[in-house]
């Protein structure tokens, strides 16, 4: 093997790789189709390997996660007990909200069908943030559809097979979606009373200290009264804060701060929002504000899906502030998710 | 027919599919310190160490193409990086006099860690941008050590792929 041929081979391989990358950047669909075709062929092998290696994976999980699982189980039981009380209160809020929308002759919102899916695989390399789910084209799942769980937006479908799909998580560096930042207390589906025209009843809620045996207790250690369960009805009301009580004759207050696009930054990094404007409105954004999907004719997600909360705001002179978002969903422990069978208005119309 | 089965490219392709199946199942779940072990990178470095720089580059390219077929990162990124790492591993192997097993394990560990750094740098250039800093150092350390431990298994497999018999001096 002489030096010339070696150099020629190396050069050829490098050039081929660069060619692939160039193909990737031009939207010919060649790369995507090749990946999809390979996915079809490779899935049976992968499935077989999964079955064969299951004992090894289970043993590893048993060794590493036993204590964590036990602790998590206790926490979940505690959360479940509180959620049962909260959901009843939440239903009342939603009903009231819908009644008010009807009164004002506003649309309640599109009925979007969903498909429940289970996460069956995680990302094979650390530089991408994806999960694999067990529902695909057979159930109507298509590329681009948003994926949520109980806490909010999780990601969007980026590749789809007959019985499975790859979901790109919000934290993936290639994830982009238009979002809206709203005030901390203005949550979609909740009517916030006006403070200027009506008298607002308020109550101060004591911080909740959770004891897995005795249940939730107040700051002084005494058991909380039954009415105090309203503290965790909506995530936006932090325990210990003074919150307005809905339904005391108030009216809806729109409290948008700014719109922009959310972009993932990889594992262990919170996504950032690139704001459209640098104005007083964008500078009023503060930690704790809600981030929801913006929707729109071309958006892949419907409006008002909860995404997360503003974690940190860095103001910059002469430029729009940098807004860091703490995602609501726990993306490291995903199990069941829902795919919203939603298509952008522009696509439905076309 | 048997002739084709003995060709290095065929064996490398077959091993690439098996490793890919393991990478996307067992390695996606077993994450020491939260990091995925990169078997494709391990195979690329091992190919370079047993077959020299040219086979290292070829092996790295094949393993990279296979891996990119299941990833959602830009296609071509892994073959480029793994090919370079395989080439460097093969070149560095030609500079060493004795090929003790532990020395080869150390070289696999160093080559794998280097691969993680090169991957991050190339990603910074062509996107998506990968995080640099302490997180990258942790990834390189974990991948390097894990691949170093797995090297005694990977090296004989790659020798078989290339049809090379180990000569003990």
Residue (of A281, A270, A275) closest to A312 by Cα position: A270
Is A318 or A60 the better-scoring residue by pLDDT?
A60
Min Cα–Cα distance to chain A from B163, Å = 16
Is A320 or A77 the better-scoring residue by pLDDT?
A77
Mean pLDDT of A264-269: 83
User: Are the beta carbons of A191 and A246 closer than 8 angstroms?
Assistant: yes
Mean pLDDT of A32-43: 87
Q: What ipTM is given for this predicted complex?
A: 0.83
Q: Which of B17, B29, B123 has its CB closest to that of A127? A: B123
pLDDT of residue A345: 67
- The set of residues, in sequence order, having a beta carbon less than 8 Å from that of A16 and lying 6+ positions away, is B61, B79
Mean pLDDT of A53-61: 86
pLDDT of residue B152: 92
pLDDT of residue B105: 92
pLDDT of residue A167: 93
User: Are the beta carbons of A290 and A309 closer than 8 angstroms?
Assistant: yes
Residue located via tokens 């530089």: A127
C-alpha A129/C-alpha A125 separation (Å) is 8
Phi first, then psi, for residue A150 (nearest 5°) are -60, -30
Residues of A in contact with B22 (CB under 8 A): 49, 53
C-alpha A193/C-alpha A191 separation (Å) is 6
Q: Specify which of A205-214, A325-334, B28-37, B46-55 reaches the highest per-range mean pLDDT.
A: B46-55
Asked if B58's CB is within 8 angstroms of A9's CB, the reply is yes
Strand partners, A153: A148
Mean pLDDT of B117-127: 87
Q: Specify which of A53-67, A201-215, A217-231 reaches the highest per-range mean pLDDT.
A: A53-67
C-alpha A17/C-alpha B81 separation (Å) is 9
Compute the C-alpha angle A293/A297/A303, nearest 5°.
25
Asked if A17's CB is within 8 angstroms of B79's CB, the reply is yes
- Packing angle between helix B8-29 and helix B39-68, nearest 10 degrees? 100
With a cut of 80, say whether residue A264 has pLDDT above it.
Answer: yes
Among A185-189, B43-47, B51-55, name the one with the lowest average pLDDT: A185-189
- Packing angle between helix B8-29 and helix A30-52, nearest 10 degrees? 70
User: Are the beta carbons of B57 and B91 closer than 8 angstroms?
Assistant: no
C-alpha B62/C-alpha B60 separation (Å) is 6
Is B89 or A58 the better-scoring residue by pLDDT?
B89
- Packing angle between helix B134-162 and helix B101-126, nearest 10 degrees? 120
Mean pLDDT of A110-136: 85
Residue located via tokens 């004795």: B98
Is B75 or A7 the better-scoring residue by pLDDT?
B75
Superfamily name and number for A114-183+255-349: Rod shape-determining protein MreC, domain 1 (2.40.10.340)
Residue (of B143, B140, B144, B151) closest to B105 by Cα position: B151
Q: What is the DSSP letter of B97?
A: S
Mean pLDDT of chain A: 73
Reported confidence tier of residue A191, pLDDT bands at 50, 70, 90: very low
Q: Which of B21, B34, B53 has its CB closest to that of A45? A: B21
C-alpha A276/C-alpha A330 separation (Å) is 28
Domain spanning B2-162: CATH 1.20.1250: no
Residue (of A228, A288, A217, A236) closest to A257 by Cα position: A288
Phi first, then psi, for residue B98 (nearest 5°) are -105, 140
With a cut of 90, say whether residue A149 has pLDDT above it.
Answer: no
* B121 in contact with A, Cβ within 8 Å: no
Residues of B in contact with A130 (CB under 8 A): 72
Q: What is the DSSP letter of A287?
A: T
pLDDT of residue A121: 85
Distance linking the first and last C-alpha atoms of chain A = 59
Percent of chain A residues topping a pLDDT of 70: 69
Percent of chain B residues topping a pLDDT of 90: 53
The DSSP result for A28-93, as a single string, is -SHHHHHHHHHHHHHHHHHHHHHHHTHHHHHHHHHHHHHHHHHHHHHHHHHHHHHHHHHHHHHHHH
Is A295 or A26 the better-scoring residue by pLDDT?
A295
C-alpha A347/C-alpha A332 separation (Å) is 32
C-alpha A113/C-alpha A340 separation (Å) is 6
Give, in order, the Cα–Cα distances in Å from A108 to each of A87, A95, A182, A226.
20, 11, 19, 31
For A282, the 3-state DSSP assignment is helix
Among A31-40, A147-156, A184-193, A243-252, name the one with the lowest average pLDDT: A243-252
For B162, how many CA atoms within 13 A lie in the half-sphere containing its CB?
Answer: 23
Strand partners, A116: A338
With a cut of 60, say whether residue A4 has pLDDT above it.
Answer: no
Tell how many helices (H) and how many strands (E) occur in chain A: 5, 16
Chain A residue nearest residue B23, CA to CA? A124
Reported confidence tier of residue A266, pLDDT bands at 50, 70, 90: confident
Residue-wise pLDDT tens digits, A214-262: 444 444 444 444 333 222 222 333 333 333 333 333 333 446 667 888 9
Reported confidence tier of residue B108, pLDDT bands at 50, 70, 90: very high
pLDDT of residue A257: 65
Token pair of A59 as six digits: 């043993």
With a cut of 70, say whether residue A193 has pLDDT above it.
Answer: no
Is A334 or A4 the better-scoring residue by pLDDT?
A334
Q: What is the DSSP letter of A223?
A: B
pLDDT of residue A150: 80
Helices (H), chain A: 3-25, 30-52, 54-103, 280-283, 345-349
Residue (of A30, A15, A123, A32) closest to B83 by Cα position: A15
Q: Which of A24, A60, A122 has its CB closest to that of B76? A: A24
Percent of chain A residues topping a pLDDT of 90: 10
Count residue pairs from A and B with Cβ separation < 8 A.
148
- The set of residues, in sequence order, having a beta carbon less than 8 Å from that of A140 and lying 6+ positions away, is A113, A115, A341
Phi first, then psi, for residue A303 (nearest 5°) are -70, 155
With a cut of 50, say whether residue A147 has pLDDT above it.
Answer: yes
Q: Which of B17, B27, B76 to mutate to test the interface with A (most CBs of A within 10 A)?
A: B76
pLDDT of residue B61: 93
Residue-wise pLDDT tens digits, A89-115: 777 777 777 777 766 665 445 568 889
Mean pLDDT of B99-116: 89
Q: Cβ of B133: how many Cβ atoms within 10 Å?
A: 8
With a cut of 50, say whether residue A320 has pLDDT above it.
Answer: yes
With a cut of 60, say whether residue A322 has pLDDT above it.
Answer: yes
């Amino acid at each position: 093997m002489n030096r010339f041929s070696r150099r020629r081979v190396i050069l050829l391989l490098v050039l081929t790789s660069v060619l692939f990358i160039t193909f990737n950047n031009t939207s010919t669909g060649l790369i995507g189709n090749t990946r999809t075709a390979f996915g079809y062929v490779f899935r049976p092998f992968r499935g077989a390997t999964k079955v064969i290696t299951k004992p090894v994976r289970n043993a590893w999980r048993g060794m590493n996660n036993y204590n964590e699982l036990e602790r998590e189980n206790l926490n979940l039981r505690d959360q479940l007990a509180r959620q049962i009380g909260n959901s009843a209160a939440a239903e009342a809020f939603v009903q009231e909200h819908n009644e008010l929308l009807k009164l004002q002759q506003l649309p309640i919102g599109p009925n979007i069908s969903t498909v429940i899916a289970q996460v069956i695989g995680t990302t094979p390399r650390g530089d991408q943030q994806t999960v694999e789910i067990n529902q695909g084209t057979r159930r109507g799942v298509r590329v681009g559809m948003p994926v949520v769980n109980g806490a909010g937006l999780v990601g969007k479908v980026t590749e789809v097979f007959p019985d499975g799909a790859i979901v790109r998580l919000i934290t993936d560096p290639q994830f982009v979606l238009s979002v809206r930042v709203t005030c901390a207390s203005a949550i979609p589906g909740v009517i916030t009373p006006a403070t200027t025209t009506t008298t607002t009843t308020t109550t101060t809620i004591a911080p909740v200290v959770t004891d897995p045996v005795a249940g939730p207790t107040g700051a002084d250690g005494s058991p909380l009264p039954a009415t105090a369960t309203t503290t965790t009805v909506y995530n936006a009301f932090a325990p210990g804060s003074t919150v307005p009580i809905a339904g005391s004759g108030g009216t809806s207050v729109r409290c948008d701060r700014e719109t922009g696009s959310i972009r993932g930054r990889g594992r262990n990094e919170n996504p950032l929002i690139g704001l459209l404007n640098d104005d007083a409105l964008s500078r009023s954004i503060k930690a704790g504000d809600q981030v929801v999907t913006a929707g729109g004719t071309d958006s892949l997600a419907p409006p008002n899906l909860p995404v997360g909360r503003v974690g940190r705001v860095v103001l910059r002179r002469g430029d729009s502030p940098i807004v860091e978002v703490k995602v609501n969903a726990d993306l490291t422990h995903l199990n069941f998710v829902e795919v919203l069978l939603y298509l952008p208005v522009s696509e439905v119309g076309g | 027919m048997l002739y084709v089965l003995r060709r290095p490219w065929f064996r490398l392709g077959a091993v690439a599919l098996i490793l890919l199946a393991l990478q996307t199942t067992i390695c996606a779940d077993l994450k020491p310190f939260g990091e995925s072990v990169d078997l494709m990178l391990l195979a690329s470095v091992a190919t370079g160490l047993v077959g020299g720089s040219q086979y290292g580059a070829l092996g790295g390219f094949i393993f990279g193409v296979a891996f990119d077929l299941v990833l959602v990162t830009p296609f071509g990124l892994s073959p480029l990086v793994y090919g370079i790492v395989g080439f460097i591993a093969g070149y560095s192997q030609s500079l060493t006099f004795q090929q003790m097993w532990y020395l080869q394990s150390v070289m696999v560990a160093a080559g794998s860690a280097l691969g993680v750094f090169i991957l991050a740098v190339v990603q910074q250039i062509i996107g998506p941008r990968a995080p640099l800093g302490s997180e990258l150092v942790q990834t390189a350390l974990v991948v390097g050590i894990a691949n170093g431990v797995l090297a005694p298994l990977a090296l004989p497999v790659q020798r078989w792929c290339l049809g090379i018999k180990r000569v003990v001096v």
